[in-house]
């Protein structure tokens, strides 16, 4: 789904679309276009007598981009393990890795490097980054995880087919 630009949180229209997409049978929804990270959510509900699970990531931000202003230089990778049980999908482990797009010069040309922030901060092995860069990125990493990760591991809701639109 393509959403509004530069908004750090999903708006009411996005949430209504997500409710509808789950109602129509989606198990996994990846939003895009805001150029900034937006949170992800887990959902569980019963529809037509069946237990349902879903995950929505409203936006993964920018993966590779020349947009340098905060927070557009941060993106993310979301991995979701799905298991098929009969004719239903079950959501397994979900993992989010914040990424930083580092722009630098190499051989007289601009180069871009997408860095997984957890690995980058643990090993501090990228010669293009200074100690000051690492300190700043550590703070941004913590902010990013707090913003994007679900406050609760699970959002239980009324079945989407019972929501009044």
pLDDT exceeds 60 at position 97:
yes
What are 77-86's contacts with CB under 8 Å, separation 24+?
A: 77/116, 78/30, 78/40, 80/28, 80/55, 82/27, 82/28
What percentage of the chain reaches a pLDDT higher than 70?
88
Please give the backbone phi and psi of residue 128, each rounded to the nearest 5 degrees, phi first: -75, -15
- Say if residues 66 and 109 touch (Cβ distance below 8 Å): no
Among the residues of 55-130, which ranges form H helices?
117-123
101: phi then psi, degrees, rounded to nearest 5 = -95, 110
Side-chain-side CA neighbours of 129 within 13 Å: the count stands at 23
pLDDT of residue 70: 76
Indicate if the pLDDT at residue 85 is higher than 90. no
Please state, rounded to an integer, the average pLDDT across all residues of the chain. 84
């Amino acid at each position: 789904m393509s959403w509004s630009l530069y908004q750090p949180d999903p708006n009411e229209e996005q949430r209504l679309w997500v409710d509808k997409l789950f109602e129509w049978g989606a198990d996994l929804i990846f939003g895009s276009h805001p150029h900034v990270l937006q949170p992800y959510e887990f959902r569980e509900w019963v529809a037509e007598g069946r237990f349902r699970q879903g995950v929505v990531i409203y936006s993964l931000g920018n993966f590779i981009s020349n947009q340098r202003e905060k927070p557009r230089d941060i993106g993310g990778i979301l991995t979701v393990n799905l298991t098929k049980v009969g004719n239903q999908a079950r959501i397994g482990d979900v993992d989010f890795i914040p990424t930083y797009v580092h722009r630098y010069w190499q051989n007289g040309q601009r180069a871009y490097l997408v860095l997984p922030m957890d690995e980058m901060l643990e090993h501090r092995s990228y010669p293009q980054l200074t100690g000051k860069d690492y300190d700043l990125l550590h703070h941004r990493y913590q902010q990013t995880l707090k913003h994007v990760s679900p406050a609760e591991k699970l959002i239980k809701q009324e079945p989407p087919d019972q929501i009044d639109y």
